[in-house]
Chains A and B, each alone.
Chain A
């Protein structure tokens, strides 16, 4: 069996989510916008899912828009807030490409982060002003796992840029935190089901009442005219059920995953020289172990790890499958920006103690092999 340590990219589907979805694949295939019984069954499933997601995230059900995933949620947040609006946008230097590339269409300014991956509040304050119309700061980073404190970020935006719509990409944070405080601090919040044991291809955007949002996908007035297109009933049901299970297990799962992650990092750090954690693990998401490695290239390490049956990743992958140069490591500066090798090992709900032990031995032996052969 392979050891899967790439859960920040995608998790395996929780059996409970699959069970919840099955009736909507096999039996209740009605269009939720229709008027007959099958349609009503589908619609009810979506609305019950919406109620559940809203309660978990700390918003009203009418404030939840279901989308096709994280990228669509992020795109809708950016374009929906900025199309036809004069003014500037601000974003952190470690945002996901779904935010960064979309913001290229607008007058947007990047705000640096500190070496531990937190928004530089001094620079952020300086950049804010009444002409700022949109701010996007991710709740937790997908590569290195750094966490932002959104409450003070929200406060300073309200003070200095009262017209700004505040968005957070909470896609990586959603499995691990109670997001109610984050939701309270922002106007828009993105999540994606496949990061917490739900299916690929479904996500949500929390859209707080009174926040301007121009629909970017138009059609039959679905999702209260904010996102046209027949809803993915099974996917939405799977998202909600996966999130419910995640929240129900969180008190047990977070400490379990954190302990496994710490064990993984400690095992690797004590097993080989020339390896450091990219940011302090205490400040990182509990499931991400991001390491900088001297004397071994990321592509080499990932290849050798795969040969040992361990799936991991480095920087974000581009469409061709090549490992792109990480804008996140560049933004952290210092050792992170100079590292020849980096690897992200990320744990998920089904990661076991045995996975961690195999992960440690595979990383230790792969790094040793790569260094030996590179001599």
Chain B
């Protein structure tokens, strides 16, 4: 098959490309230029593109760079800023996968005549009753199914995830065996367009007018102030400890319009149910009894899902609006959505 392999310059996608070559596919590498600004590493820095290109050279495959920085600004960065402005907690990696890697790039791969698009994500594809499901990667600690829950039948048919059956250790071992220059490269973890040096606050304050807010308790008593409501995440504790109170308190709700952040004790965070919107199901009807994961590497919790409501098997902390909630049946992703208030 003619396969376009997205190569970030990291070890996983390097090994993915190598495995595809080994399997006899006609492989072409591509690195996306997404973010034109400052970056610690992430997907877009020139040095990472160089690493990807050098690995492609080692493998003897062609390598291209596509510049999707306009779409990245429009579909990922601007909504990220806007969501923070509305007091929500967005997940830009999910949106990048949704709009850039598995929409823009997948479409591009078809226009260029490729049969499939491959990436180095730690996920697998399972087929059940002629339906395809995204499934957790073999290495649960590195599983990335949470950030790819949006893939539908057509996308799953057109995608390949060669390293999904391997553990990270096996991936590194293979990279070392093939003498790939990225074999021992450190992983990128954080949001690629936010630098460690400047952080989220500086990034957002350049793009938003940050709103000072009042800190209130669940009864509406005013307890203090915060400099920027847009930087508060539901469940956050730091920066809200206003002294005097022996129990730890957490952000329960951010209301940018009213310029308040409501805080409460640990027990106030817990809810029986959680609403969501923008549901995507993998294949037809989703089972009612599922496990729900609410962060990239969080533990999935038992719940029932009906209409636009998750009912937890036991009380658990409220999910910040804007975060993705992903529904699992065993290792299979059966759906996903965005948490609402």
Interface residues of A (CB under 8 A from B): 299-300, 303-304, 307, 318-325, 369-370, 373-374
Known contacts A321-B49, A321-B53, A325-B70; A300 and B108 CB within 8 A of each other: yes
Is the CB–CB distance between B65 and A321 below 8 Å? yes
Whole-angstrom distance between the Cβ of A323 and the nearest chain B Cβ: 5
Known contacts A299-B66, A303-B64, A325-B70; A320 and B49 CB within 8 A of each other: yes
Is the CB–CB distance between A323 and B67 below 8 Å? yes
Cα-based distance from A324 to B69 in the complex (angstroms): 9
Closest to B45 in A: A320
Interface residues of B in 68-86 (CB under 8 A from A): 69-70
Known contacts A321-B49, A321-B53; A300 and B67 CB within 8 A of each other: no
Whole-angstrom distance between the Cβ of B134 and the nearest chain A Cβ: 26
Is the CB–CB distance between B110 and A373 below 8 Å? yes
Closest to A324 in B: B67
B23 contacts A by Cβ under 8 Å: no
**A307 partner residues in chain B, CB cutoff 8 A:** 113
Q: How many A-B residue pairs have CB under 8 A?
A: 43
Cα-based distance from A20 to B326 in the complex (angstroms): 68
**A318 partner residues in chain B, CB cutoff 8 A:** 33
**A373 partner residues in chain B, CB cutoff 8 A:** 110-111, 113
Cα-based distance from A322 to B32 in the complex (angstroms): 8
Q: Beyond A320-B33, A320-B65: 12 further Cβ-contacts under 8 Å? A: A299-B66, A300-B111, A303-B112, A304-B112, A320-B44, A320-B49, A320-B50, A322-B49, A322-B66, A323-B65, A325-B70, A373-B111
Cα-based distance from A303 to B29 in the complex (angstroms): 12
Cα-based distance from A321 to B33 in the complex (angstroms): 9
What are some 25 contacts across the A-B interface (CB < 8 A)? A299-B64, A299-B67, A300-B108, A300-B112, A304-B112, A307-B113, A318-B33, A319-B46, A320-B44, A320-B46, A320-B65, A321-B31, A321-B49, A322-B33, A322-B65, A322-B69, A323-B67, A324-B67, A325-B67, A325-B70, A369-B113, A370-B111, A373-B110, A373-B111, A373-B113
Whole-angstrom distance between the Cβ of B271 and the nearest chain A Cβ: 45
**B33 partner residues in chain A, CB cutoff 8 A:** 318, 320, 322
Whole-angstrom distance between the Cβ of B55 and the nearest chain A Cβ: 14
Closest to B34 in A: A322
**A299 partner residues in chain B, CB cutoff 8 A:** 64, 66-67, 108
Interface residues of B (CB under 8 A from A): 31, 33, 44, 46, 49-50, 53, 64-67, 69-70, 108, 110-113
Closest to A317 in B: B65
Cα-based distance from A318 to B31 in the complex (angstroms): 14
Whole-angstrom distance between the Cβ of A72 and the nearest chain B Cβ: 21
Whole-angstrom distance between the Cβ of A276 and the nearest chain B Cβ: 22
Whole-angstrom distance between the Cβ of B233 and the nearest chain A Cβ: 33
Cα-based distance from A188 to B172 in the complex (angstroms): 54
Whole-angstrom distance between the Cβ of A158 and the nearest chain B Cβ: 40
Cα-based distance from A369 to B108 in the complex (angstroms): 13
Whole-angstrom distance between the Cβ of B48 and the nearest chain A Cβ: 9
Closest to A296 in B: B111
**A319 partner residues in chain B, CB cutoff 8 A:** 46
Cα-based distance from A320 to B35 in the complex (angstroms): 12
Whole-angstrom distance between the Cβ of B158 and the nearest chain A Cβ: 14
**A323 partner residues in chain B, CB cutoff 8 A:** 65, 67
Central interface residue in A299, A300, A307, by most chain B CB within 10 Å: A299
Cα-based distance from A305 to B50 in the complex (angstroms): 24
**B53 partner residues in chain A, CB cutoff 8 A:** 321
Is the CB–CB distance between A322 and B111 below 8 Å? no
**B49 partner residues in chain A, CB cutoff 8 A:** 320-322
Cα-based distance from A322 to B50 in the complex (angstroms): 12
**B50 partner residues in chain A, CB cutoff 8 A:** 320
**A370 partner residues in chain B, CB cutoff 8 A:** 111
**A304 partner residues in chain B, CB cutoff 8 A:** 112-113
Whole-angstrom distance between the Cβ of A317 and the nearest chain B Cβ: 9
Cα-based distance from A300 to B111 in the complex (angstroms): 8
**B64 partner residues in chain A, CB cutoff 8 A:** 299, 303, 321
Closest to A300 in B: B111
Whole-angstrom distance between the Cβ of B3 and the nearest chain A Cβ: 15
Nearest 10 pairs between A and B by C-beta? A322-B33, A322-B67, A321-B65, A320-B49, A322-B65, A373-B111, A320-B46, A319-B46, A323-B67, A303-B112
**A321 partner residues in chain B, CB cutoff 8 A:** 31, 49, 53, 64-65
**A300 partner residues in chain B, CB cutoff 8 A:** 108, 111-112
Cα-based distance from A40 to B223 in the complex (angstroms): 85
Closest to B53 in A: A321
Whole-angstrom distance between the Cβ of A234 and the nearest chain B Cβ: 28
Whole-angstrom distance between the Cβ of A374 and the nearest chain B Cβ: 5
Closest to A307 in B: B113
**B31 partner residues in chain A, CB cutoff 8 A:** 320-321
Closest to B62 in A: A306
Closest to B107 in A: A374
Closest to A299 in B: B66
Cα-based distance from A304 to B108 in the complex (angstroms): 12
Cα-based distance from A320 to B67 in the complex (angstroms): 10
